[in-house]
Structure 1
């Protein structure tokens, strides 16, 4: 299931500490993040046969939401945390969904150029430092096909994510801002590669 990245990197686990992993899905339910994921899937306007990558897939909640709504797309998830990937695999299997799950880092995506139609990322960007954010966005742009779409949700910081996405060579739509219990304002960024 999980593969090792060619380069080991430090990473901040979901919720900040490995021992908090059992509470990750509880937080997902009580925070209202499911509604954000539903909106992300909706704005992606997926169609049959498309390849979808979730960068920082965690325990697979966004992959599961995508697969339940679009059973005819190919799902791929990448995360540096093997424990998160193991949970994701179990949850997707219980939901009757298939996905390729790889251990890896957002700044070093082990996929060929132009190999995905849509890339999702949910509440992961704020875990990266400034240079790593730029590396991640460059990698996402590289693995997206021409016309491909990035749909990214993260804690809203007055347009910082949108600015970085634009600087990475994407054409961005206006930020969709939503309130989320426990996280405050979340920005949903939709950006296209040309």
Structure 2
């Protein structure tokens, strides 16, 4: 059975809209799934899950699950895993809950990435897809620290986002990306540096241009055993 924190009734303790919503604004949320599908999110999620190599019975956290697309994909690919999706947006979580239709193995929690409501060393894998660029620069170190804290020793964070070694040669979208204030903090080695500062070892597992959003890069960060 899906276990939920009631998104319609609960508010984040830091207040509403001190985050960038998944679709940019609440009014666009009904179109979010279609928009991300057109951008190829399903293929990105499959690649991220392949890198994550989730074992049967693993406890898996998604930080910034939005409307639950990656959370549901993880459960479909790994039905014996225990999947928890977190997000600070109650409207997005309400949609995720509705799409889950009472499936076993999924729990949704209203939570900020920098203040996760879990004990230390709870999860074997943590996933994050296109979430980091939503987070203000001053909050990112706390996010990385929480991801580290809640992973078991030897556990891994698998993260994909816009950014990495973006160059103008990656195309028009990449050239616009170089001056986008939401993603400039992801460029170059900024993400590995952030994760290493929290105690992770970190490597880039894949990076490729994307015609619509510039460049997407995948990372594997491991909490040392």
Worse-superposed segment, 33-42 or 158-167? 158-167
RMSD value over aligned CA atoms? 1.6
Residue aligning to 2:134: 127
2: CA distance, partners of 1:154 / 1:25: 17
Offset, 1:175? 4.5
Secondary structure of the corresponding residue to residue 51 of structure 2: helix
Q: Under a length normalisation based on structure 1, what TM-score does the superposition of the two structures give? A: 0.93
Q: 2:158 aligns with which of 151, 155, 161?
A: 151
Q: Under a length normalisation based on structure 2, what TM-score does the superposition of the two structures give? A: 0.81
Offset, 1:7? 2.8
Residue aligning to 2:65: 57
1: CA distance, partners of 2:211 / 2:104: 29
Rg comparison, structure with higher value: 2
Residue aligning to 1:83: 91
1: CA distance, partners of 2:41 / 2:95: 18
1: CA distance, partners of 2:98 / 2:209: 30
1: CA distance, partners of 2:113 / 2:59: 17
5+ residue gaps, structure 1, are: none
Question: Would you say how many aligned residue pairs link Structure 1 and Structure 2?
Answer: 193
Secondary structure of the corresponding residue to residue 154 of structure 2: strand
1: CA distance, partners of 2:82 / 2:131: 21
Residue 2 in structure 1 maps to residue 5 in structure 2: yes
Deviant stretches of 4+, over 4 Å: 3-6
